[in-house]
Every structure is written in structure tokens, then in C-alpha cells.
Structure 1
């Protein structure tokens, strides 16, 4: 398996600098493809505006024609000024609960990404987290690039260094991935889906995918969405249709240990569901039948107090199976 991973790394891992912007614009013109950039956002007023402005300035305005055709922020119920800041910066803002209202929205990032397919039209959909600091537009152009220049590539993840709290890594050290990546996701992939072991940032929130693939995949509603999409893409289109691009350094807001524990549980459960698909007759994508809980502890006045948190296990079906989406695509 190591030989296959090494071959894939040589054939399907690039740097954002490998495809200059003028090359991408020419490839986009030749292919006729359109590109949608989606930022899922929840209480990100401090960072979302700068990301939107950077994408507009570098990839929409001042070019012979735009690399990005639409820039959408999907607000999943922010209590701050995320929506106002994003709109002022030039994004089209859509509220999660106004998309597909006949299906009540569930909390979770994956839910927002799933619904975004109904309010965007690009042939290529690029997801970018809204909490990034010191954002570079190479996060978009870098991962969109292979989808414009390599017809057989369908799914591209960003890879990057990830300094802790924005501090520079120690000399000679390269920080790859967060704690959940290294302690949960990477072991799961290496043990159960070793073909995916070459992905440097399997849980990264920056990736670009052809709509024709995305609409065929189920979406875990919560933190398991990145692992779920990656594994399902492997089984749907094969390893050589997947790729990754080095976009430099990613700085963002870090979460506390308990939040990471809940994230880890959701990711483990997402993997468990996929491993058990063959034992779930009638459930092609292994939809969960129960919603387990994770018990965590906080110290109170009288000692440690247990708190139960639901583990995100719900999954939305492939968007191609949703009537409203099919009608929209037909129109």
C-alpha cells in the first residue's frame, strides 16, 4: 500500500504555485466551467469580511474575467454581525433556515454545506472555512486549479502548515494537522482506508469538488462531514480522481479540549457508519438509526459534573435525490 500512496503523492499532490492565475483563467475560459465559493459561517464576524474581500479583490475584480463566479456565505444562525459584515464585504448571504424550508435544519457544519448546493450553481464548488486569519486567495485558486486543468480530477483538498495559535513553527518543525486529525482521523484512515493515507489534511475545511460528484454524496450533518465526503468520494470515483494542493499556512481559531472531544466522537461515528454499510441491508449509505451521546465532565462546586452531548450522526441523502434540487437543475 505504501507504494500506491507514494505513487499517488507523486501524481496527485501539487503546490498552488504550479498553476499561475493566468493559466487558470485560460483553462476556465476553454472549459466553460463556473466556480462557486461557499463559506459556512457561525459567529465569524471577526474574520469573514476579510476573507470575502480578499476573494473579491484577487479572484473576481480586476481580472480579464472572474475566476470565481459566485461568492456565497451561508449563515447557520449567527448571533453576531456575521451576515452584515459578509454582505458589506460583497458576498451574497443566505440564511441556512431559508434553504429547503420543508426539511427542518439540523445543527452542524455538514448541514450548511449540504444546503449550499441548492443556492449555488457553479460546476465547481469550493468550500472555505470562515474563521481563517491572514487569508490568502491561493486557498481558493490553488484547490480549484486542478479541477480546471485536469479533467480526470474531481475532488481536491488543501494541505498546509498549521502553526499553533498563529505562532511560527519551531525551526525544522512542520506542524501538520490538528489534534483530532492526528489522534483520530489519521489512524482511522490508515487502518481502514489506507489509500487515503496520503492526505496531509483530511479534515481540512478547504476543498473544491465538481458538483457532479458532490450531488451524488451523502453529507454527515456535523463535524464528520469532511471525513465522510472523502471516504465516499474514494468509493465513488476512485483514488486517482482525488488530489491535494499545498496552499501554504493556515491560521484559524482553535477549540478547547471538550469541543475537540465532541468533534472526535462525531468523526469516529462517521467512520463507523461507513465501515458497517455492508451490514445495513436497505441502507445504501449507512444512515444511522440511533444518536449516541458523549459524556464529558466539568468541575462544579461539589466535584466533577457529567454532561451528555449528542454525537452528530444524522446524514443527509445525496442532493441529487432531493426533488427541489432535481427541479432546479432541470430548469
Structure 2
């Protein structure tokens, strides 16, 4: 990506009014997908606010679908009461099996949604607004050459500081893993502010052709594969303002980083073993002890290759050379 790409393909959510998007939408069907696991505390607010603003007040969305990934709390009931259509990931195409992970929920959403455009929003948002959704739809509804849109935002690491340096420090895996990987292996993506952002939108016609890591590498893999399939001009990004959510523990970030590295390896030199034995260390009564975590790096095949996949005709265009 060059500075020219950044100038052409970086937008602000305010660039389009709701009236502009409703006019551009025409007969295009739009699905909002919210992957969720044990998010009863926040998923209801996400669903109810978006439904009120973008379905009940204006007709921008056709459906809000929550994919519940093996939650042990009240995520399913809370999301349903808030007005979403809720599916348990394990119950979607049970003939295909069920795997843990955010990417698995997103992959399986293709079998229970009807939208030509899919908008993904995380379920754990605590500092956000409903403009996230129309902001992500803007490039897809107004620029036919764009097939994937990434959101970016201030994402503070809320550790007691209140200054400018903290504004973008919430994305620790982005800065320590994804961005160096992009610099080394896929510099075409260097213009993306937040390549791992959980808020993004995609044409079904593209997503259905992509292999999908079942864990946290889904976002980076989609970007790398989109560049390989359609070129970098098929990607745009939108400044959504500010976003905050809770942060993962350091060792959990290690597992996320492992999945991202494995996804890049699968698209380059050699595939990683599955699972990857990640050796970490923690204090104990007798000193330091090793802890080996088995990190799954499984990928699901493109949905178009799955027998009896309920894909709309718009999902089956010829693949660009």
C-alpha cells in the first residue's frame, strides 16, 4: 500500500449520510453478524441499539444475527430478547462439526444469513455508537470495486492514563505481531491502521471464496487472501471514531499471536502443526514453571466448496484473475 492508496481508500464515517446509503442500497440485502461468547453483559446493548437505529427507525439492515459460540452465560437469551436472531454455532450445519473460536462463528454465519453484504461487529463493545455499521457499509454501497472494508478507531488501553499516547495502545497484538508481519510478508497492507479490527464488512461474494481460520487470525487472513484474489484496491478502511472493550490477559494474547503467525505461515513458507504447543511460564511456589497451551490453528475451507451451502447467486461470481 502506498500513500496514494491511503488517500483514495481511507474514509470517515461522516462521509455518508443515512439518506445517501439508503438510496445507494437499492435491493442489496445487508446482514449484521455479531459473534459472541459469554457476552451477556454487553451483547444486549449492541443488538438493541443497532436494531432501534438501523432497523426500526430506518431500513438499512435486513437482519441482526448473533452467533453464540458455546456460551455458558445468558448470551443467547439476552441477545434474543434484544431483538436478534440467535444461532448456537454448534447447531449450524452440525454435519460439518463444531470448533471453538471467533472465526468459526463468522464462517458458520454464512449458512444462516441472507445478506449480500455482511457486517461484523464484536459483542463486547462498551464505548461505541451505531454509526459503526453505516460507516462500514459506505464504501461497499457506493464503490463497486471495493469488496472488504476495515474499521479503525481510537482504541485506548485503559490503564489509568488519560493522554494522547494511550489512544491507540489497546491493540497490543496488532503492534507487536500483525504490523511487523505485514511489513515483512505483505507490505501491500501497510496502509491499514488496524488490520485486526473486529469491526469490518465484506461482500458475500468474496467471503464465500476465502479460507477462514477458526480463531483470532480470521481478520488478517481475510486481508491477505483478498489482496491475492482481487488486489489491494478491493480494500478500503473507515475511521469510526473511538472504540473500547475489555482487554485480554497477556498469556491469552500469546495464544492469539500464535494463531496469527500460523495463518501467515499457511499462506507462505510452510503450514504450522495443528495444534501448536505454545510453551509459556508462570510463577509457582517453587519458582517458575512451564505451562504448555495447545493452540488450535485450524482453518475452514471456502464456503462455496461446502456441499449444499445456501449461497445466494450473488456469492458465485467468477474469481478475478
TM superposition score normalised by structure 1: 0.91
- Unpaired runs of 5+ in structure 2? 314-321
* Distance across 1 between alignment mates of 2:220 and 2:72: 28
Tell me how many residue pairs correspond in the alignment. 313
Q: 1:6 aligned to 2:20? A: no
* Distance across 2 between alignment mates of 1:207 and 1:244: 9
Q: 1:53 aligned to 2:36? A: no
What do residues 44-97 of structure 1 show as CA deviations (whole Å, max 9, x unaligned)? 01110110011111111122xx10111000000111111111111100100001
* Distance across 1 between alignment mates of 2:65 and 2:207: 17
| Contact kept? 1:163, 1:251, Cα under 8 Å | yes
* Distance across 2 between alignment mates of 1:116 and 1:220: 14
Q: Which residue of 2 aligns with 1:153?
A: 146
Match of 1:323, SS state, is coil
Q: Which residue of 2 aligns with 1:324?
A: 308
* Distance across 1 between alignment mates of 2:160 and 2:38: 23
Match of 1:116, SS state, is helix
1:301 Cα deviation (Å)?
Answer: 2.3
2:36 pairs with 37, 41, 50, which one? 41
Q: 1:177 to 1:151 in 2, by over 3 A?
A: farther
Q: 1:92 aligned to 2:85? A: yes
Q: 1:92 to 1:167 in 2, by over 3 A?
A: farther
Residues 1-331 of structure 1: pairs in structure 2 closer than 5 A: 4-29=1-26, 32-63=27-58, 66-165=59-158, 169-171=162-164, 174-175=167-168, 178-276=171-269, 290-325=274-309, 329=312
* Distance across 1 between alignment mates of 2:294 and 2:220: 19
Match of 1:305, SS state, is strand
* Distance across 2 between alignment mates of 1:301 and 1:154: 53
TM superposition score normalised by structure 2: 0.93
What do residues 98-144 of structure 1 show as CA deviations (whole Å, max 9, x unaligned)? 10101221111111110010000100001111011133111111011
Choose 152-161 or 97-106, whichever is displaced more. Answer: 97-106
What do residues 284-325 of structure 1 show as CA deviations (whole Å, max 9, x unaligned)? xx6x55422101122222222222112232111000000121
* Distance across 2 between alignment mates of 1:167 and 1:18: 33
| Contact kept? 2:158, 2:166, Cα under 8 Å | no
1:170 Cα deviation (Å)?
Answer: 0.8
1:190 Cα deviation (Å)?
Answer: 1.2
Choose 111-120 or 159-168, whichever is displaced more. Answer: 159-168
Q: 1:252 to 1:37 in 2, by over 3 A?
A: same
1:328 Cα deviation (Å)?
Answer: 5.3
Choose 316-325 or 293-302, whichever is displaced more. Answer: 293-302
Match of 1:293, SS state, is strand
Q: Which residue of 2 aligns with 1:282?
A: none
| Contact kept? 2:304, 2:311, Cα under 8 Å | no
1:191 Cα deviation (Å)?
Answer: 1.3
| Contact kept? 1:295, 1:307, Cα under 8 Å | yes
Choose 16-25 or 164-173, whichever is displaced more. Answer: 164-173
* Distance across 1 between alignment mates of 2:262 and 2:215: 11
| Contact kept? 2:274, 2:296, Cα under 8 Å | no
* Distance across 1 between alignment mates of 2:30 and 2:149: 14
